A and B are shown apart, each in its own frame.
Chain A
Amino acid sequence: MFIINCPYCGERDQTEFSCGGEAHIERPKQPTELSDDQWAEYLFMRKNIKGIQFERWNHIHGCRKWFNVIRDTSNDKIHAVYKMGEKPPIKSL
């Protein structure tokens, strides 16, 4: 449980948000040309990092907008928040 700084609404409790998992997984541009292995990679395989992770969150009980969060999964500390479409402010720590 922690505080998330929604880029649209400001600081709110984490319970107002819904986590959408790992960020920057691009939907395949040519789905019909994907092999089964590539589909599996896109659909199921995750980095599941212990440490700095880039992830998507939705302010589901607030403005309902999606945005990105950089969070350390080993201590739940949030390092940065940035809007969809923006470049991550830090690459990694």
Chain B
Amino acid sequence: MSEQNKRRFEHVIRERWCKGCNICVAFCPKQVLELKNGKVFAARPESCIGCKLCELRCPDFAIEIHEVIEGKAEGRDAAHLDFSVSPEAEHD
């Protein structure tokens, strides 16, 4: 498959929700993901095939896969709140 029409994917990661459980890293069929100081990140995003198993298995809803469609500007998704803000309601 030539380089041009190879599908590419963006890894949206909500770091504050990720607990570094390693499930996504372990079960990614293409070893795309790694943990860095307890948080997931896409080490080899170009290897991603968009199977979304990481997203489906993540217990914390902390990773989301978006296909990068050429020419279509990937606008900021309004639903993406700034997750670095800690919630006002405290946790027990």
**A and B part of one assembly:** no
Which residues in A have some Cβ–Cβ distance to B below 8 Å?
none
Which residues in B have some Cβ–Cβ distance to A below 8 Å?
none
